[in-house]
């Protein structure tokens, strides 16, 4: 790239410039290396402060899948039918899981083990996320370098390495799809831009492979397959169509869709669902446009006009007919071919209206304003500046960045979880903004300092690689305007040099005019550095304090030191070692993944909320009185019921606080559960004012059984009240385990009473004709009949 | 659990009939026991029996062997048998360890099993000597009732013989049974029998023929932790860079009366003296001094409840499993630590090195049902041999650790029924050339060197087709 500039300089400066470029290359290599180290090490707070352990809920499932993969091999993995979850339905893991993450970690583990480095699967899983965040920051460097040059690239990479939003999903131990997917997302975008800038089919192929990896890793791949068509459409509409655009897009759609259909979880969805519809529409449009440009090239203008009118009138009719058919097809499916989560993206109120199970997940809620400041911090202020910088001058690549940030801001506004998609966009735009600002200020300082003013002109030419890159892009876009119909590479190069010579001179003069006063630029530089420092401080704080807790171990600082609440693992370990291996454990779905992974026991529902009815059954059982609940659980072969209770130590996200969702989800399927029955004047309470339905439901009883004996009053530290019903006995359940801080309580279903059998015997001996009592017995058991 | 107990009962009955059975063909009758005293310690779940035998040679030929007999049911639970001979007179007595070996006799009555004690010097006719015998029994206390609730304390049965089972004529014998507390539900009386406090005295009995048997049953309270490690794998990895890494994998179980029904945390926490008296929360592991980087975890992560106390002579690690262990409850965990190599690795005279390490389980007062000890020698070491003071099963394995090419030799020692007495030193000898220590650093260095060479080469070669 720099070769174009050195060609204008004299011989001695040529030597110094190549040296300088080489030095710059080495320097930026080491800076990138350090950024990678930074990205990795800032995520190790969780290991240092807590321990090397898998975090939260979903990672435990991924960890379990990885364990299975490493133990049984890839073929077993594809065919894995998991009978330890969703009892009695089971789940086809191989066909319903995004395999990218597990395959990645499995490959890393396999590689290390074949080199005789005996790391455990757990260790590999824990450190996958930090490794991939280092990769992600390098990918951000590449992407931004394509857009605005190496300086902006380095800044963006440094910002991305420590952006809190991404840290929250990729600390060591947070072994989740997003950790790998963000890298895949940025890298796919980079390859798209690279193809767009070079028009090389090689990169286009790489792009579809990167897209394939993204499809493997995360359901968020639909963002790519919608954003890129949007950008292509934007380019076409704004008259920026070129053969490079065609090369960047057409192979991606064809190869990408074929590859995506290979992933079992996507399969035919890659062509059937509406999420992919936009890409095919734009695929048709780009071919029409390409055809039009081709015909325009071979026909005379007059003939072309005739042809246009002819084709437009005929083509419009065909198009209308096809669109009508398509719309009819799409409209015939109830959800209009969109999945629930995607629909809730388009219509933010959709989930809360129709699917309580999606709305009940906290990460599917819209974010609050403070969470923007928490997650992207000062980047929120730099983004607008970056967007402006992208418009000066607007290239294909920079227009993509603008589009990316605009859409991701919208999506992050719908779901907290998608803040993660915003973070890279914000980093890239802020990187551009920061680097441009630094560029302007340093250049004006350099220009006005007396010592350097003599050769300022020369320096101004190549103050930093960033400006050079920027110029280069300008040149490129200029060139592409002029040489649209000449794809030959040689002629391009010639032309580039041709345009270059006058433009650099003009630039040097321009820069002199752009120089700011010395003091102003010094002060602004200082302020920028302060801003950056503030960002770093915030990120380190967020990494260390806010996002590193593994959530299965809780700690609290009190005056007499550190308290560790390790109750979850206490309960899971107890289940693992002291219950029968085939016992079924019922709990709210949040704890399903952890129970299967840590306790190795069969669960009824888990965090993969694919069967609403099943979850509603558990919700109904939890909100029913004891006897009805016992019958539901007994019909599901449940032996143990696990509830999470935070009332003793003040752990707020316990089952009592989640209980209304159980009522709602249960009531959505079984209408005899009505939410108003559990609310007193619209208020959810568990004190003496609570409704009798609330005080008699299973969840209340299992949570507060013998709770009053701890302090004599039954004061709940989460709800900050005394509980409503203090002394009661359980008739159908018995307490078999409660953890040290009472956070997890496990109950066993009492066996069915002998009396019932005696009764049937009696009735049989009395009258042999009636088989009806048995029938009515089975009827009672099933709550959904 | 059921079958061996029943078989033991039938066996004791058959042995009882042996009272009147006199074996004439055996050459053992040269010896006779003039005085025997037995003390049975039942205070923990490991039954310790101390026998003091005064032996006379009544025959005409010198005797160099003394036989001990055990009923077969007891032999299965017999962890160790040791014999000591007292030498010298009165004040200047010294104790000498004698060799004890299990022996098979062709005409053993009712499958009785024998151990032979080899005397240091043959006992001439008319002479007498005193032997001290210690043997330990594991899994010999049978909980009854077999299932108890949280608030109950644990009662156990102990079955034995009121008389000492010996293939010799015994002139006078006494047995003392020590129970952990004075709560004794019942005990069989074989007059004269006395009970005073925590001690039950059987005897003295005069002039009993060989193989006298009179079954007794003691039913008493024992709330000591019945900590049994079902399987323990200890792995010691020797690194000649100066570290000894020890990893111990435990499968712990409470082998006492099974917990029945409810576990109520509120009762357990508010009334600890009445609730769960037979359960245990803590275990104490005694580790070597200068231990470092200790960890205590299980398959789902670190267990935060442990304390390490170190001083110059020993280290004590107090570990608390994730939950208190009630009868029948299990827990698994791993303890790992590093030790300085110079404390344990020495050079012997014949150009060999040897590791000197303790064999048994570092947890105090625990029984290990199956102990596997793996000594991972450094890569490139040769001629491994182990010297263990008691019989163990041995074989060799190969293990691949960090960047190994040929693999490390692992000496595997296996022993069943290990009690704290087995915490004695054993040695593993091997030869090792220090040059092998450099193999892995050299390998890494050359790999990086090749990588850089490849990079340089790639940058200087123009692979493009276009010119």
Cis peptide before B145 (omega within 30 of 0): yes
Q: How many CB pairs under 8 A join A and B?
A: 74
Is B302 near chain A, with CB under 8 Å? yes
The Cα–Cα gap between A199 and A196 comes to 5
Show contacts of B448-453: CB within 8 Å, 24+ apart.
Answer: none
Is A53 near chain B, with CB under 8 Å? yes
User: What pLDDT, on a 0 to 100 scale, did the predictor assign at position B89?
Assistant: 64
User: What pLDDT, on a 0 to 100 scale, did the predictor assign at position A417?
Assistant: 83
Identify whether A779 is part of a domain: no
Is A581 near chain B, with CB under 8 Å? no
User: What pLDDT, on a 0 to 100 scale, did the predictor assign at position A497?
Assistant: 45
- Final residue before a domain boundary, out of A337, A358, A374: A337
Paired with B66 in beta bridges are B117
The arithmetic mean of pLDDT across residues A641-648, rounded, is 90
Residue A196 has pLDDT above 80, yes or no: yes
Q: What are phi and psi of B157, to 5 degrees?
A: -100, 140
User: What pLDDT, on a 0 to 100 scale, did the predictor assign at position B268?
Assistant: 85
Nearest CA in chain A to B299: A598
User: What pLDDT, on a 0 to 100 scale, did the predictor assign at position A689?
Assistant: 85
Is B270 near chain A, with CB under 8 Å? yes
User: What pLDDT, on a 0 to 100 scale, did the predictor assign at position A293?
Assistant: 86
CB within 8 Å: A566 and B304: yes
User: What pLDDT, on a 0 to 100 scale, did the predictor assign at position A14?
Assistant: 66
- Please give the tally of structural domains in chain A: 2
> Of the candidates A117, A552, A578, which has its C-beta nearest B330's C-beta?
A578
Residue A765 has pLDDT above 50, yes or no: no
Nearest CA in chain A to B326: A578
The arithmetic mean of pLDDT across residues A71-99, rounded, is 89
* A304-353 pLDDT, tens digit each: 888 878 878 888 888 888 888 888 877 776 656 566 666 666 776 666 66
User: What pLDDT, on a 0 to 100 scale, did the predictor assign at position B123?
Assistant: 83
User: What pLDDT, on a 0 to 100 scale, did the predictor assign at position A129?
Assistant: 92
- Final residue before a domain boundary, out of A337, A352, A373: A337
Query: If you write DSSP's letter for every residue of B7-52 in order, what string do you get?
Result: HHHHHHHHHHGGGG----S-GGGGEEEEEEEEEEE-SSSSEEEEEE
CB within 8 Å: A566 and B303: yes
ipTM of the complex: 0.87
The Cα–Cα gap between A402 and B465 comes to 38
The arithmetic mean of pLDDT across residues A632-659, rounded, is 90
Q: How confident is the model at residue A189 (pLDDT cuts 50, 70, 90)?
A: very high
Indicate which of B249, B262, B265 best probes the interface with A, i.e. most A CBs within 10 Å of its own CB. B265
Domain that holds residue A649: 563-749
Indicate which of A56, A566, A573 best probes the interface with B, i.e. most B CBs within 10 Å of its own CB. A573
The arithmetic mean of pLDDT across residues B171-186, rounded, is 89
The Cα–Cα gap between A375 and A396 comes to 29
* A689-710 pLDDT, tens digit each: 888 888 888 999 999 988 888 8
Q: Give the homologous superfamily in CATH for domain B2-221.
A: tricorn interacting facor f3 domain (2.60.40.1730)
Instruction: List chain B residues with CB under 8 Å of A742.
Output: 265
B 331-350: CB under 8 A from A: 331-332
User: What pLDDT, on a 0 to 100 scale, did the predictor assign at position A342?
Assistant: 67
Is B304 near chain A, with CB under 8 Å? yes
More confident residue, A255 or B60: A255
CB within 8 Å: B403 and A573: no
3-state secondary structure of B166: coil
Q: How confident is the model at residue A234 (pLDDT cuts 50, 70, 90)?
A: very high
Least confident of A220-229, B63-72, B271-280: B271-280
- The encoded tokens of residue B31 equal 């010896």
Nearest CA in chain B to A114: B403
CB within 8 Å: A116 and B330: no
Nearest CA in chain A to B270: A710
User: What pLDDT, on a 0 to 100 scale, did the predictor assign at position A776?
Assistant: 39
Chain B: nearest CA to A710, how far in angstroms?
7
Give Cα separations from B245 to A48, B212, B239, B374 (angstroms).
22, 52, 8, 12
User: What pLDDT, on a 0 to 100 scale, did the predictor assign at position A256?
Assistant: 92
Indicate which of A708, A740, A741 best probes the interface with B, i.e. most B CBs within 10 Å of its own CB. A740
Instruction: List chain B residues with CB under 8 Å of A706.
Output: 264, 266
The arithmetic mean of pLDDT across residues B238-251, rounded, is 92
CB within 8 Å: A739 and B304: no
User: What pLDDT, on a 0 to 100 scale, did the predictor assign at position A194?
Assistant: 93
Residue A441 has pLDDT above 60, yes or no: yes
CB within 8 Å: B304 and A564: yes
Residue A462 has pLDDT above 50, yes or no: no
* B31-80 pLDDT, tens digit each: 888 889 999 999 888 999 999 988 888 888 888 888 888 888 888 888 88
Identify whether A658 is part of a domain: yes
User: What pLDDT, on a 0 to 100 scale, did the predictor assign at position B236?
Assistant: 93
Burial label for B342, CB within 10 Å (0-12, 13-18, 19+), is: exposed
* A544-569 pLDDT, tens digit each: 888 888 888 888 887 777 888 888 99
* B452-463 pLDDT, tens digit each: 999 999 888 877
The Cα–Cα gap between A532 and A435 comes to 12
Paired with B158 in beta bridges are B141, B218
> Of the candidates B263, B270, B303, which has its C-beta nearest A737's C-beta?
B263
> Of the candidates B304, B328, B403, which has its C-beta nearest A115's C-beta?
B403
Residue A135 has pLDDT above 70, yes or no: yes
CB within 8 Å: A116 and B328: no
**pTM higher than 0.80:** yes
CB within 8 Å: B262 and A117: no
- When the pLDDT of each residue in chain A is averaged and rounded to a whole number, the result is 82
CATH 2.60.120.10 fits B227-437, yes or no: no
Residue B285 has pLDDT above 70, yes or no: yes
Is B251 near chain A, with CB under 8 Å? no
CB within 8 Å: A573 and B300: yes
> Of the candidates A51, A116, A569, which has its C-beta nearest B322's C-beta?
A569
Residue A286 has pLDDT above 60, yes or no: yes
- The encoded tokens of residue B90 equal 């009165």
User: What pLDDT, on a 0 to 100 scale, did the predictor assign at position A454?
Assistant: 45
Instruction: List chain B residues with CB under 8 Å of A578.
Output: 328-330
* B333-369 pLDDT, tens digit each: 999 999 999 989 998 888 888 999 998 888 888 899 9
User: What pLDDT, on a 0 to 100 scale, did the predictor assign at position B76?
Assistant: 87
CB within 8 Å: B328 and A578: yes
> Of the candidates B270, B301, B400, which has its C-beta nearest A53's C-beta?
B301
Indicate which of B235, B293, B304 best probes the interface with A, i.e. most A CBs within 10 Å of its own CB. B304
Q: How confident is the model at residue B16 (pLDDT cuts 50, 70, 90)?
A: very low
Instruction: List chain A residues with CB under 8 Å of B261.
Output: 734
- The encoded tokens of residue B33 equal 């026991």
Chain A: nearest CA to B77, how far in angstroms?
26
- Candidates B109, B87, B110, B107; CA nearest to B97 is B87
Residue A458 has pLDDT above 70, yes or no: no
CB within 8 Å: A573 and B331: yes
The arithmetic mean of pLDDT across residues B198-220, rounded, is 88
Instruction: List chain B residues with CB under 8 Å of A51.
Output: 301-302
Burial label for A182, CB within 10 Å (0-12, 13-18, 19+), is: buried
Residue A36 has pLDDT above 90, yes or no: yes
Q: How confident is the model at residue A13 (pLDDT cuts 50, 70, 90)?
A: low
B 127-166: CB under 8 A from A: none
Instruction: List chain B residues with CB under 8 Å of A570.
Output: 322-323
**Nearby residues of B43 by Cβ (< 8 Å), 6 or more positions away:** B178, B179, B180, B222, B224
User: What pLDDT, on a 0 to 100 scale, did the predictor assign at position A467?
Assistant: 44
Is B328 near chain A, with CB under 8 Å? yes
User: What pLDDT, on a 0 to 100 scale, did the predictor assign at position A500?
Assistant: 44
The Cα–Cα gap between A739 and A745 comes to 7
Nearest CA in chain A to B320: A570
Chain A: nearest CA to B270, how far in angstroms?
8
User: What pLDDT, on a 0 to 100 scale, did the predictor assign at position A63?
Assistant: 93
Give percent of chain A with pLDDT exceeding 70.
83
Is B261 near chain A, with CB under 8 Å? yes
* B72-112 pLDDT, tens digit each: 888 888 888 888 887 766 666 777 888 888 888 877 777 88
Residue A506 has pLDDT above 80, yes or no: no
> Of the candidates A569, A735, A737, which has its C-beta nearest B300's C-beta?
A569
Residue B3 has pLDDT above 80, yes or no: no
B 46-85: CB under 8 A from A: none
Identify whether A195 is part of a domain: yes
Chain B: nearest CA to A599, how far in angstroms?
9
Indicate which of A64, A549, A577 best probes the interface with B, i.e. most B CBs within 10 Å of its own CB. A577
- Candidates B39, B57, B61; CA nearest to B48 is B39
- Final residue before a domain boundary, out of A337, A371, A390: A337
Least confident of A392-406, A764-778, B64-78: A764-778
What residues does CATH 2.60.40.1730 cover in chain B?
A: 2-221, 227-437
CB within 8 Å: B266 and A566: no
CB within 8 Å: B329 and A737: no
User: What pLDDT, on a 0 to 100 scale, did the predictor assign at position A652?
Assistant: 87
User: What pLDDT, on a 0 to 100 scale, did the predictor assign at position A185?
Assistant: 94
Is A14 near chain B, with CB under 8 Å? no
Residue B1 has pLDDT above 60, yes or no: no
Residue A376 has pLDDT above 80, yes or no: yes
More confident residue, B200 or A461: B200
Instruction: List chain A residues with CB under 8 Å of B304.
Output: 553, 564, 566
Cis peptide before A88 (omega within 30 of 0): yes
């Amino acid at each position: 790239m720099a070769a174009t500039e050195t060609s204008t300089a004299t011989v001695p400066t040529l030597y110094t410039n190549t040296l300088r470029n080489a030095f710059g290359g080495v320097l930026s290599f080491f800076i990138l290396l350090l950024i990678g180290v930074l990205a990795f090490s800032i995520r190790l707070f969780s290991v240092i402060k807590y321990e090397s352990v898998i975090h939260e809920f979903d990672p435990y499932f991924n960890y379990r899948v990885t364990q299975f993969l490493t133990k049984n091999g890839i073929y077993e993995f594809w065919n894995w039918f998991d009978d330890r979850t969703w009892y009695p339905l089971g789940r086809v893991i191989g066909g319903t899981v995004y395999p990218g993450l597990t395959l990645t970690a499995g490959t890393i583990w396999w590689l290390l083990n074949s080199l005789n480095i005996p790391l455990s699967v757990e260790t590999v899983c824990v450190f996958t996320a930090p490794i991939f965040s280092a990769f992600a920051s390098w990918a951000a460097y590449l992407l931004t370098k394509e857009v605005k040059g190496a300086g902006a690239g380095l800044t963006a990479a440094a910002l991305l390495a420590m952006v809190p939003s991404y840290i929250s999903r990729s600390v060591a131990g947070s072994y989740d799809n997003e950790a790998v997917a963000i890298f895949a997302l940025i890298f796919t975008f980079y390859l798209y831009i690279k193809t767009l800038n070079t028009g090389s089919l090689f990169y286009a192929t790489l792009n579809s492979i990167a897209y394939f990896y993204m499809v493997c890793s995360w359901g968020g791949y639909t963002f790519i397959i919608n954003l890129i068509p949007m950008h292509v459409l934007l380019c076409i509409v704004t008259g920026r169509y070129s053969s490079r655009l065609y090369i960047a897009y057409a192979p991606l759609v064809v190869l990408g869709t074929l590859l995506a259909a290979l992933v079992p979880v996507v399969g035919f969805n890659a062509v059937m669902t509406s999420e992919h519809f936009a890409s095919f529409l734009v695929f048709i449009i780009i071919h029409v446009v390409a055809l039009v440009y081709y015909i325009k090239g071979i026909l005379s203008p007059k003939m072309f006009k005739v042809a246009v009118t002819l084709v437009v009138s005929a083509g419009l009719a065909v198009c209308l007919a096809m669109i009508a058919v398509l719309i009819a097809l799409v409209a015939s499916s109830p959800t209009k071919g969109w999945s629930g989560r995607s629909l809730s993206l388009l219509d933010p109120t959709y989930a809360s209206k129709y699917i309580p199970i999606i709305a009940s997940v906290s990460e599917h809620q819209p974010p609050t304003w403070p969470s923007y400041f928490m997650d992207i911090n000062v980047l929120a202020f730099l983004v607008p500046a970056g967007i402006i910088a992208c418009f000066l001058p607007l290239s294909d690549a920079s227009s993509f960045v603008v589009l990316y940030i605009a859409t991701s801001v919208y999506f992050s506004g719908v779901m907290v979880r998608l803040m993660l998609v915003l973070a890279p966009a914000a980093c890239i735009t802020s990187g551009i903004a920061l680097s441009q600002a630094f560029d302007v200020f340093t250049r004006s300082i350099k220009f006005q300092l007396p010592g350097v003013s003599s050769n300022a002109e020369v320096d101004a030419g190549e103050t930093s690689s960033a400006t050079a890159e920027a110029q280069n892009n300008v040149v490129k876009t200029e060139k592409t305007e002029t040489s649209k119909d000449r794809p030959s590479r040689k002629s391009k190069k010639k032309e580039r040099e041709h345009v270059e010579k006058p433009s650099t001179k003009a630039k040097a003069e321009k820069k002199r005019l752009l120089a700011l006063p010395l003091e102003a630029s010094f002060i602004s530089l200082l302020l920028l550095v302060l801003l950056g420092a503030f960002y770093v401080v915030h990120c380190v704080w967020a990494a260390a304090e806010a996002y590193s807790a593994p959530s299965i171990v809780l700690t609290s600082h009190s005056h007499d030191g550190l308290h560790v609440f390790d109750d979850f693992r206490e309960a899971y370990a107890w289940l693992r070692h002291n219950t029968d291996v085939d016992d079924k454990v019922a709990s709210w779905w949040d704890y399903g993944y952890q129970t299967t992974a840590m306790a190795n026991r069969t669960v009824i529902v888990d965090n993969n909320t694919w069967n609403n009815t099943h979850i509603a059954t558990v919700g109904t059982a939890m909100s029913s009185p004891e006897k009805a609940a016992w019958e539901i659980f007994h019909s599901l072969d449940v032996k143990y019921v696990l509830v999470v209770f935070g009332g003793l130590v003040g752990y707020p996200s316990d089952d009592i606080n989640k209980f209304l969702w159980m009522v709602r989800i249960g009531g959505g399927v079984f209408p005899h559960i009505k939410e108003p029955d559990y609310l007193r004047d619209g208020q959810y309470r568990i004190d003496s004012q609570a409704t009798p339905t609330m005080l008699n439901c299973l969840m209340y009883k299992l949570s507060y059984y013998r709770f009053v004996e701890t302090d004599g009053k039954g004061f709940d530290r989460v709800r900050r009240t005394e509980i409503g019903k203090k002394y009661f006995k359980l008739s159908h359940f018995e307490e078999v385990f409660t953890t040290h801080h009472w956070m997890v309580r496990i109950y066993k279903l009492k066996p069915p009473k002998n009396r019932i059998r005696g009764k049937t015997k009696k009735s049989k001996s009395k009258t042999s004709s009636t088989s009806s009592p048995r029938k009515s017995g089975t009827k009672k058991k099933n709550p959904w009949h | 659990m059921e079958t061996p107990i029943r078989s033991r009962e039938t066996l004791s009955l058959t042995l009882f009939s042996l009272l009147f059975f006199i074996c004439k063909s055996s050459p053992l009758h040269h010896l006779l026991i003039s005085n025997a005293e037995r003390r049975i310690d039942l205070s923990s779940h490991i039954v310790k029996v101390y026998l003091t035998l005064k032996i006379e040679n009544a025959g005409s030929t010198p005797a160099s062997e003394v036989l001990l007999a055990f009923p077969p049911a007891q032999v299965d639970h017999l962890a160790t048998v040791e014999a000591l001979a007292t030498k010298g007179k009165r004040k200047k007595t010294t104790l000498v360890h004698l060799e004890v070996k299990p022996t098979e006799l062709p005409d053993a009555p009712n499958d009785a099993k024998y151990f032979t004690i080899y005397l240091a010097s043959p006992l001439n006719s008319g002479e007498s000597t005193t032997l001290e015998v210690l043997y330990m029994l594991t899994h010999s206390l049978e909980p009854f009732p077999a299932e108890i609730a949280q608030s109950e304390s644990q009662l156990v049965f102990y079955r034995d013989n009121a008389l000492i089972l010996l293939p010799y004529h015994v002139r006078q014998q006494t047995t003392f049974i020590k129970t952990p507390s004075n709560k004794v539900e019942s005990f069989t009386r074989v007059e004269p029998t006395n009970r005073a406090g925590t001690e039950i005295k059987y005897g003295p009995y005069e002039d009993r023929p060989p193989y006298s048997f009179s079954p007794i049953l003691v039913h008493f309270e024992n709330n000591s932790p019945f900590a049994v490690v079902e399987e323990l794998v200890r792995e010691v990895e020797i690194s000649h860079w100066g570290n000894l890494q020890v990893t111990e994998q435990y499968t712990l179980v409470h082998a006492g009366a099974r917990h029945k029904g409810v576990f109520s945390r509120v009762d357990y926490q508010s009334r600890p003296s009445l609730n769960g008296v037979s359960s245990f929360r803590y275990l104490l592991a005694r580790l070597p001094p200068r231990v470092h980087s200790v960890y205590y975890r299980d398959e789902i992560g670190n267990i935060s409840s442990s304390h390490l106390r170190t001083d110059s002579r020993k280290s004590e690690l107090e570990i608390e499993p994730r939950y208190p262990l009630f009868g029948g409850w299990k827990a698994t965990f791993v303890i790992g630590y590093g030790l300085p190599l110079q404390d344990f690795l020495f050079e012997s005279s014949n150009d060999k090195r040897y590791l000197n390490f303790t064999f048994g389980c570092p947890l105090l007062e625990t029984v290990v049902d199956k102990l596997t000890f793996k000594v991972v020698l450094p890569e490139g070491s040769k001629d491994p041999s182990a010297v263990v003071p008691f019989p163990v099963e041995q074989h060799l394995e190969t293990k691949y650790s960090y960047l190994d090419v040929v693999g490390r030799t692992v000496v595997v020692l296996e022993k069943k029924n290990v009690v704290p007495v087995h915490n004695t030193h054993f040695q593993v000898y091997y030869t090792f050339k220090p040059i092998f220590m450099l193999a892995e650093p050299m390998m890494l260095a050359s790999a990086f060197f090749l990588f850089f060479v490849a990079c340089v080469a790639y940058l200087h070669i123009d692979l493009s087709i276009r010119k």
